[in-house]
Amino acid sequence: MLTSIEKTPVTIFREMKLFIIVWVGQLIASIGSSITAFALDVWVYEHTGSVTQFAFITLSNTLPLILLAPIAGLLVDRWDRRWTMILSDLFATLATVAIAALFIIGRLEVWHIYLANTFSAIFVAFQIPAFIASITLLVPKQHLGRANGMLSFMNGTARLVAPPLGGVLLGIISLQGIIVLHLTTVFLGIALLLLLRFPKASTPAVAIEESSFLKETTYGLTYLVARPGLLGVLIISASSIFLVGGVQVITIPLVLSFAPVTVLGTILSLFGVAVLTGGLLIGIWGGLRRNMNMIYGCMLLTGVSLLVAGLQPSVVVFIIGVFLFFLIRPIIASSTQAIFQSKVEPLVQGRVFSIKGAIEAAGLPLGYITIGPLAEKVFEPLMATDGLLADSIGQIIGVGTGRGMGLLFIIMGILTILATCIAYFSPRLRLVEDELPDVIDDVIDVAIAADTASTNNDAVPSPS
């Protein structure tokens, strides 16, 4: 059998065809949803003038994902994943329809948007683990890196396209037109799912005993605790997202300390390009044969990039450091996800991936609420012109506004490098790909067989 390196693009496309079709539909729906989210953010700000309101919008979008993770994972494992995605997308759009109706009759208020976001997020809590768990049913093991890279590319595209396109569309078709566009994109994604047939998951290698509802809902966490290597991979992934939150929360004030606001907009756009490029790179390349080597290397580069970004109050130095940081992030996400997908039994992936997603989702706001106050209350005073560190570290990296945040970048980078080096000496983590057996080979045989059959018939798989 040809290796992934020897396979032609046509062969790779055939082996990933089912996933690519699903991915295209989800990409279209993701862009539509992101544009609507941007438009609603603008509407909230125009009607409140309060930046604080965005914190509540973020909370309403993320809190259900964290709280519902155990239950969502349990039900995703019990339900058909394709129909879980279809119904989740469908019910989530009901909130958008309600927003459109309230806007048309002139009764839309800010609290309606919080409620609608919470309602949609409830169903997204089911849709995300169902989609990620479906990847192992649709993609051969050697293409997991590509598939996860395509997911990063999808998320990066939506985030990069939404602000400029949303701004243009607001002026042309207004909020109700954007909502109609959103519904159209979601229904296109659902239509593609309705046309496909997902292969069935194989019987899990682990025995799952009948137990109480509490034990069932916490099974994902129990599963990870029993496998320290996987738990370590999750900790690395969550810490990487924590760093993303920390970088995001202090990037704007740090850049504004040495550059005008016009430059800030360009820098933020470049970071979106970095995420997009990283996702495209890993999507085409597929990554190294050993994902842990990729993770260790990328985390070391993450530390170096943060250290560089904080060294000097220079636009060029900062762009180089943080562009590399965001370029690497999709590669880390793809590699960690590939390990989970190849080592976690398909029939329990819903529960495990839901817990994984909840812990990772918590990393972002934790980065906000930890790094932000540290920068403002501790490091900025330390690096003021008359601060305690002005005559020591200040002689190297400078003093004044923004240098405390620069020092925090440097410390985050050094701690990331040290933590990565320490993690390398954990045998359960370093050897996780050797010690835990692959569990998706049988599933992929079914997937390839189904795909080959559909190719021979020259038709898209019929609905199940």
Q: Is the pLDDT of residue 21 over 80?
A: yes
Q: What is the mean pLDDT of residues 126-141?
A: 89
Cα–Cα distance measured from residue 226 to residue 298, given in angstroms and rounded to the nearest whole number: 26
What pLDDT is stored for residue 2 in this prediction?
39
What pLDDT is stored for residue 455 in this prediction?
38
Q: Express each pLDDT in 437-457 by its tens digit.
A: 987 654 444 444 444 444 344
Task: Give the type of residue at 160.
Answer: L
Provide the token pair at 164. Answer: 């400029």
What pLDDT is stored for residue 40 in this prediction?
86
Mean pLDDT, the chain, rounded, equals 85
> Which residues, 6+ apart, have CB-to-CB distance to 280 below 8 Å?
149, 153
Q: Express each pLDDT in 64-117 by its tens digit.
A: 888 888 889 889 988 999 999 999 999 999 999 999 999 999 999 989 999 999
Residue with structure tokens 């756009």? 269
What pLDDT is stored for residue 419 in this prediction?
96
Q: Is the pLDDT of residue 269 over 90?
A: no
Q: Is the pLDDT of residue 166 over 60?
A: yes
What pLDDT is stored for residue 233 in this prediction?
96
Task: Give the type of residue at 331.
Answer: I
Alpha-carbon distances, residue 430 vs 97, 287, 340, 365, 424 (angstroms): 48, 17, 14, 28, 6
Q: Is the pLDDT of residue 248 over 90?
A: no
Cα–Cα distance measured from residue 125 to residue 122, given in angstroms and rounded to the nearest whole number: 5
- At 212, is the pLDDT very low, low, confident or very high (cuts 50, 70, 90)? low
- At 169, is the pLDDT very low, low, confident or very high (cuts 50, 70, 90)? confident
Cα–Cα distance measured from residue 110 to residue 169, given in angstroms and rounded to the nearest whole number: 21
- At 175, is the pLDDT very low, low, confident or very high (cuts 50, 70, 90)? confident
Q: What is the mean pLDDT of residues 267-292?
A: 84
Percent of the chain's residues with pLDDT above 90: 46
Nearest partner of 122 among 186, 213, 61, judged by Cα:
61
Provide the token pair at 78. Answer: 């019990």
Supply the pTM of this predicted model.
Answer: 0.75
What pLDDT is stored for residue 213 in this prediction?
67
What pLDDT is stored for residue 379 in this prediction?
93
What pLDDT is stored for residue 441 in this prediction?
55
What pLDDT is stored for residue 97 in this prediction?
92
Greater confidence (228 vs 461) lies with 228
Q: What is the mean pLDDT of residues 263-277?
A: 81
Residue with structure tokens 């032609």? 8
What pLDDT is stored for residue 305 in this prediction?
96
Domains (ranges, CATH) in the chain? 9-456 (1.20.1250.20)
Cα–Cα distance measured from residue 166 to residue 153, given in angstroms and rounded to the nearest whole number: 19
What pLDDT is stored for residue 50 in this prediction?
62
Nearest partner of 431 among 216, 228, 132, judged by Cα:
228
Greater confidence (249 vs 326) lies with 326
What pLDDT is stored for residue 6 in this prediction?
56
Question: For the chain, first and last CA: distance in Å?
Answer: 30
Q: Across 181-195, 274-288, 359-373, which has the greatest mean pLDDT?
A: 181-195
Q: Express each pLDDT in 362-413 by its tens digit.
A: 888 888 888 988 988 899 999 999 999 999 999 999 999 899 999 999 999 9
